[in-house]
Amino acid sequence: MVNVCDIQVMKPLLAEHGFHFSKAKGQNFLIAPWVPQSIAEQSGVDGMAGVLEIGPGVGPLTQQLALRAGKVCAVEVDERLKPILAVTVGEFGNVEILWQDVLKLDIPALVKEKFPGLRPMACANLPYYITSPILTALLEAECFDCVTVMVQKEVAQRIAAAPGTADYSAFTIFCQYYAEPELLFEVPAHCFLPQPKVTSAVVSLHVRRECPWEILDEDVFFRTVRASFAMRRKKLSNGLASGFPELGKAGAAEVIAAAGFAPNVRGETLSIPEFARIANEILRRRGNAI
Ligand code: SAM
């Protein structure tokens, strides 16, 4: 197997094919072999797993996944990498590369087609400029057992944040609604070529099989969360009144009281089941109004 993480191997390989890094495509390639090895090891990928990898680059993580998985389907947007990946992962019969933009894919359809009889998983060193849309698509696809990704450390902290902390955000709640996050390890900037300006971290999102909370309407729930964080420094009643104009200020205050919270409660301190209580109360009032 070509040790593609070894800079003495990677640099001549890139030069041979006239490859130059594209900043616009978020290309920071791994040059520390322990990183793809640890990601693949800790992701829980095994022979029964069908793994969707996003952005294989020159293939360091693809190789490690291919050694462990039943099948790897890697989606790469940059076709200049074709001849390089042919060298680095061509020997693996269980790897298929799709030359596409992951954001244009019908992910559930792809998983169904490519991984019959396998446990679908996703694993990637993500291009950081589109971390949120990719994670959103992977979680909303509702077809993976586990999603393990390398992201900026700050993003990993946001994904795993607790209520009331500075990192807690609408994105935290979105991720934790779908999955239980587990922070795995940090990866310093010197493990990449070119070096990014930030530290990275690997996080596993263990997808929930069932929603553990009573959330009567997903749309109203997420609208409640967004309304609350749009005005995170203000009282929840202000955010609700602005996000649900039909409630008005008085209605927003009534919803908060009926859900059992103090009038001056701030949204950023609420847990998912507490947001659910608010959202369900909004829905109940709507029902009464009809
Ligand atoms: N997996 C390799 C590694 O760890 O060294 C490369 C990771 S690099 C951070 C991100 C990769 O995602 C690049 O190969 C880039 O070309 C690819 N990429 C960027 N945007 C993409 C998109 N919209 N769809 C698929 N791949 C994309």
CA atoms within 13 A on the CB side of 159: 29
Give the mutation target among 38, 76, 88, 198 for probing the ligand 1 site: most ligand atoms within 8 A of CB. 76
Q: Is 200's C-beta closer than 6 angstroms to any atom of ligand 1?
A: no
Ligand 1 in reach of 241 Cβ (< 6 A): no
pLDDT reported for residue 233: 80
Probe target for ligand 1 pocket from 78, 98, 99, 150, with the most ligand atoms within 8 Å of CB: 78
Q: Please, what are the averages of pLDDT over each run of 10 residues along the chain (290 residues)?
A: 93 95 97 97 98 98 98 98 97 98 98 98 97 98 98 98 96 98 98 96 97 95 95 89 93 96 94 97 78
Partners of 122 in the β-ladder: 52, 147
Neighbours of 214 (CB within 10 A): 9
Atom in ligand 1 nearest the alpha carbon of residue 57: 14
Strands (E) across the chain are located at 29-30, 49-54, 71-75, 95-98, 119-125, 146-152, 179-187, 192-193, 200-207
Say yes or no: CB of residue 156 within 6 Å of ligand 1.
no
* Residues 200 and 150 sit within 8 Å (Cβ to Cβ): yes
pLDDT value of residue 222: 97
Q: What is the CA(130)–ligand 1 centre distance, in A?
A: 10
- Does residue 75 contact residue 105 with C-beta atoms inside 8 Å? yes
Which pair of structure tokens corresponds to residue 259?
A: 């859900």
Q: What is the pLDDT of residue 138?
A: 98
Q: Please tell me if the CB atom of residue 59 comes closer than 6 angstroms to any atom of ligand 1.
A: no
Neighbouring C-beta atoms of residue 190, cutoff 10 Å: 10
Report the pLDDT value the prediction gives residue 286, as an integer from 0 to 100.
Answer: 80
CB 40 within 8 A of CB 61: yes
The amino acid that residue 262 corresponds to is A
* Integer Cα distance of 173 and 288 in angstroms: 28
For 24: left if phi > 0, alpha if psi spans -120 to 50, otherwise beta; the answer is alpha
Question: What pLDDT is recorded for position 288?
Answer: 63
270 and 278 in contact (C-beta within 8 Å)? yes
Does the Cβ of 57 fall within 6 Å of ligand 1?
yes
The one-letter amino acid code at 11 reads K
Phi-psi region for residue 154, left (φ > 0), alpha (ψ -120 to 50) or beta?
alpha
Q: Taking the CA of residue 232 as centre, how many other CA atoms within 13 Å lie in the half-sphere pointing to its CB?
A: 14
Give the pTM.
0.95
**3-class SS string, 131-147:** HHHHHHHHHHCCCCCEE
> H-helix or E-strand containing 12?
helix 7-16
Find the 55 Cα to ligand 1 centroid distance in Å: 3
CA-nearest residue, atom 18 of ligand 1: 55
Lateral strand order in the sheet of 95-98: 95-98, 71-75, 49-54, 119-125, 146-152, 200-207, 179-187
